[in-house]
A and B are shown apart, each in its own frame.
Chain A
Amino acid sequence: MGMVAELPERVLSEYTLDIENGETIKDGETIKNCCRIQSANGSYAVWKYQGELGLLQKVLEWRERLVEKGFTEFLRLYKTKNGKNMVQAEEYGYYVTTWPSQGYTYFDPEKSEQASGLIKVVEALSRLHTAGKASTPPKGTPIEYPESAAACPESSEVYWLKAYQERLTDLLYFYHYLQERKLVNDFERIYVENFAGFYERGQQAIQRMVLAGSDSENNLEPGFLIGNFLPQNMLETETGIVFLNIANCPQGLPIHDLSLLMKMYLPHRQWDKEFALKLLTCYQEKSTLNNQEKHLLLAQLSFPARFCIFTEKYLHGTREVTELAADFKKYLYESFWQDRCLEQLENYLWGE
């Protein structure tokens, strides 16, 4: 029964669910934070959330508003007997959503050569972002962040910049550490060899993000993001894409979602220029990018994120050194194709 047995009795008693069967599913972020329930009335999912419950409440309200407007990108929220969105038990928040009974598959990036699934995701994002832009909160509304994040940043823009800069600074520390020692394996050798290039690339990306924020004419207000495009977090249905767990969704500009999606799946397609253009064209059919978004998209696409992750894995010993060194080499080869693709996107976005 998985998590069902572990659920506090109080949680289930708040709902009119006649449970027949329960099964724990992965949502891609944490295991055991979702339980699929089969009841006499249909299929449901019970979601467990750890974090700031006020924020969860706002996220649930936001997605409920979109569902009510007819957006099918989220599962419909199933309310408690008292009409509440969620139940609090200890430090956790629990909420229940409906679950499609049939006609869906999990998103598979390798399924079709045409990558129709990825196009569907872009279309879904474009629809959601268009709706989001139309209903952004008035300028100056304070933004709330997860408790685990840095305490009360001044603005979404500053928060993102600081987060990126911190990752780069960590890389710099490690580089200085290696400078003082004899390099002992291929990972360290490739790291030292290529650090300057990746660091500069990261700094240029951050500078571009700053530049994007300085464009006051087009300055958009941040909102909630999807922030999770792992295959196990997306259901592909006949009508489109359903995003499952969005309770942890961060806040930022909608373009962050698009850049994350492209960054996650373009390496798999060897940064295919034509395909990247197809995704952008598809997105812009409903939501045209302004200058700020163009700068942010290109900046985030060029940020050396996996360089940071390889380093973190090396430092924490979570992956074999030889495998990491091999990955690092592949990442260098990939950069060649990435640069060519980004150059093309740059020309496309600025109409050159």
Chain B
Amino acid sequence: MKASGRIAAWSNWKITCGVSDLLKKIDSEEELPLEPEKPGYPWQILEAEGETWVIVRWKDKVATQPLQGLEGVDLKSFSWELVAEHEEKSFYVGEINLQINYQETGVAQMEWEWQEPWVDEFIFYDSLFTEKAEEMSAFPEENSGAKTAFASLLIEGNELKEYAATGEAATEMIKSYEVLLPWRCWLKGKGKNETPVLKKVHLTQVGVYTLLLEALIKLEKKQEFTSTIEDNLTTIVEEEITYELTNDSIFEIMGVPVERGFWRYRYDPRRESLLLRARNKTNLIYVSAESGGERFSIASGTGEEEAIMIKGVTKPIYPVGLEIRCEQMQQGLVGTNKIVYQGKYLYCLQKEPQQKKEKAIVTPVTTESEVAEAQAVLSPEPLKRNRPGERWMKKKECSDKWGNRTIITIKL
């Protein structure tokens, strides 16, 4: 697919037609765009296969006087509970309790001096009597960002200071504010659930009186696969893609989970191979280099991709399922907004369905009633079919004002 640049072409015709089980996707020449999502409050969640990222956010006017500095963040608690588990999904509920410490200065102590404030007051007054030169719909350009003058703290989750109650009240200058951030999310995929991890915390001033707090949590499954590389229907696919983040710059990449769906299978008899086509959504979770506002961010881009299964596919059998296993994954940051992504995947096809249902049907029965019940379920009574002429025979038996009839068959 040219537009999204996410259809993988194959580098060599010989390789694709040969018997090699190693297929390498050609590097995409285009840089695939990733568009940042608008930061969500009070949470923003990315649920991909085998990993979930939760960003919990809180923003409030905490100060009654202008904020003057940030003193730190203390972790009071980070707890969670696995409240529900379905086939391949787990639902978590948790909360983070943080205490933020900051400084205020009385507004009366703030120094301010104007250079000719009368000019702006006059301009406003004059504008009441003149037509506006330009409509206010002339909104600012998208990239009107400027360096912030506000303070901020970016702290690694494992470096967060544990809160210790000292019994001392906050001083006149240093104030404290306790923030409770509840969160809920699904973690989907096969495998064993790992412990949720508080990866990072970000605290920043976003106004004269307002603070913004963000916490980034990762939930992960240690993926387990039934298929192995030795299985017949497994193909190795390698890919190298360059993504370009638009309208933002990256300080640190946290993860690049890719979601795939809407599979279409097609058999190519000439090559004796199975072609897989899918839609995908590449997600980038990152720490923005732009300070002053929300820094934990999710960007995404959608595309389409195609893979070819060769090894073991000699018959046009429609597969039951596909398991994609990531063997190796690396990503690197080039400049501030380009990401080079390298991945090695095992595409494992499942040929036959599991026999769970059959087993259920042949459950052994003991009593007569159970046998009858089972028969009723397993072999319902076939519909009764009339014998030829039976209908007429029945009618003949009935009273009839015409009396007996003679049926004459004329054979031509």
Contacts and interface: CB of A to CB of B under 8 A. Distances in A.
B207 A194 contact: yes
B136 A173 contact: yes
Contact of B148 (A160, A181, A185, A312): A185
Contacts of B124: 167, 305-306, 308-309
Query: Which of B61, B125, B210 has the most C-beta atoms of chain A within 10 angstroms of its own C-beta?
Result: B125
Given A193-B206, A306-B124, A148 B149 contact: no
Interface in A175-223: 177, 180-187, 189-190, 192-194
A186 B125 contact: no
A177 B138 CA distance: 11
Given A260-B125, A306-B120, A330 B114 contact: yes
B61 A193 contact: yes
Interface string A306-340: 10111110111100111001100110111010000
A300 to B, nearest CB: 9
Interface string A95-118: 000000000000001000000000
A312 B118 contact: no
A190 B120 CA distance: 19
A195 B314 CA distance: 68
Nearest to B204: A189
B62 to A, nearest CB: 12
A29 to B, nearest CB: 7
B142 to A, nearest CB: 8
A170 to B, nearest CB: 4
B134 interface: yes
Given A189-B292, A264-B117, A315-B138, A181 B38 contact: yes
A81 interface: no
B292 A185 contact: yes
B146 interface: yes
Q: 10 tightest A-B contacts by CB?
A: A193-B207, A264-B118, A305-B124, A330-B112, A163-B128, A184-B145, A267-B117, A321-B146, A170-B136, A333-B110
Given A189-B207, A190-B207, A309-B124, A268 B114 contact: yes
Contact of A184 (B61, B121, B144): B144
B9 to A, nearest CB: 35
A303 to B, nearest CB: 9
A228 interface: yes
Contacts of B140: 314-315, 317
A227 B125 contact: yes
B126 A29 contact: yes
Given A184-B145, A314-B140, A321-B144, A265 B207 contact: no
B139 A334 contact: no
Interface in B287-317: 290, 292-294
Looking at chain B's contact residues, the main secondary structure is loop
Given A267-B114, A267-B117, A322-B147, A312 B136 contact: yes
A229 interface: yes
Interface string B102-120: 0000011010111011111
A146 interface: yes
11 contacts: A146-B129, A146-B130, A173-B136, A182-B39, A192-B207, A193-B210, A306-B117, A312-B127, A322-B149, A330-B113, A334-B114
A186 B122 CA distance: 25
Given A189-B207, A305-B125, 7 more contacts: A28-B122, A186-B148, A267-B118, A306-B117, A315-B136, A317-B140, A326-B149
B123 A149 contact: no
B208 interface: yes
Contact of B129 (A181, A231, A250, A315): A250
Nearest to B130: A148
A83 B136 CA distance: 46
Query: Which of B39, B146, B293 has the most C-beta atoms of chain A within 10 angstroms of its own C-beta?
Result: B146
A78 interface: no
A226 B356 CA distance: 92
Given A322-B146, A326-B149, A230 B129 contact: no
Nearest to B293: A183
Contacts, number: 153
B131 interface: yes
Contact of A306 (B121, B133, B148, B206): B121
Nearest to B125: A260
A334 B128 contact: no
Looking at chain A's contact residues, the main secondary structure is helix
Interface of A: 28-29, 109, 145-146, 148-149, 160, 163-164, 167, 170, 173-174, 177, 180-187, 189-190, 192-194, 227-231, 248, 250, 260, 263-265, 267-268, 305-306, 308-312, 314-317, 320-322, 325-326, 329-330, 332-334, 336
B131 A333 contact: no
A147 B150 CA distance: 46
Contact of B118 (A186, A190, A229, A322): A229
Contacts of A193: 61, 206-210
A260 B39 CA distance: 42
B35 to A, nearest CB: 12
B138 A185 contact: no
A149 B208 contact: no
Given A146-B129, A229-B118, A316-B134, A329 B36 contact: no
B255 interface: no
A322 B140 CA distance: 14
Contact of B293 (A170, A182, A264, A334): A182
A304 B129 CA distance: 17
Contacts of A333: 66, 107, 110, 112
A158 B319 CA distance: 76
Given A148-B130, A333-B107, A186 B121 contact: no
A186 B146 contact: yes
Contacts of A28: 122
Given A268-B118, A332-B208, A164 B128 contact: yes
B110 A309 contact: no
Contacts of B125: 227, 260, 305
A173 B121 CA distance: 22
